[in-house]
Amino acid sequence: MLLTAGPTHEPIDPVRFIGNHSTGKMGYALAERFAEHGAKVVLVSGPTNLHTDHTSIEVKHVTTAEEMHKAVLKRAGAADIWVFAAAVADYRPKTVADKKIKKAGDELTIELVKNVDIAAALGKQKEEWQFSVGFALETDNEGANAREKLRKKKLDMIVLNSLNDPGAGFAHDTNKITIMEEGATHTFELKKKSEVAEDIVNLIWERIYG
């Protein structure tokens, strides 16, 4: 299986970047649970302080969204299951300064360009036998936004969590999720991310293996 985790960092200059608060905890917990269920896991990880010693997990470290996209494309064809748990930056600076940008004036304008939506791009080449799972972190219209992503990205399942739920989202050891499929919705209580990962893996296993 192929799994993405963590944030991406999009450089502005040699010392600054655009990023987000993702720690990678959810993605790494998923990698461990999949490995414990007997899967051979390729984990494409953005910058994080986490690590895994599980012998069934191969970690590919990347920094930017472009690097993550290339790493995923290289490995996607051989994977039965894709899980896109990374918090990939939607935009990156159009140009990257080769030296540190010095303070000058009261304003600084940075022009941004859109990054590739990795899950959507992979959805266009997904084979019938492959199972694809996405993640949606929302702050409003959570259910509608998640279901739209489920359809547009040709996902079999999407895991929704809301920043409106205390203890969920980035930088927590807990999470509260809703898993959506085309014809079903599964809601779970606030749990440790290791337990949340177990719920996700169990449902995926049920769908694939019955």
Per the structure block, which two tokens stand in for 148? 């739209």
Amino acid at 55: T
CB 8 within 8 A of CB 46: yes
Amino acid at 141: N
Q: Which residues are catalytic?
A: 20
Per the structure block, which two tokens stand in for 153? 């990205």
User: In whole angstroms, what is the distance from residue 202 CA to residue 207 CA?
Assistant: 9
User: In whole angstroms, what is the distance from residue 145 CA to residue 91 CA?
Assistant: 19
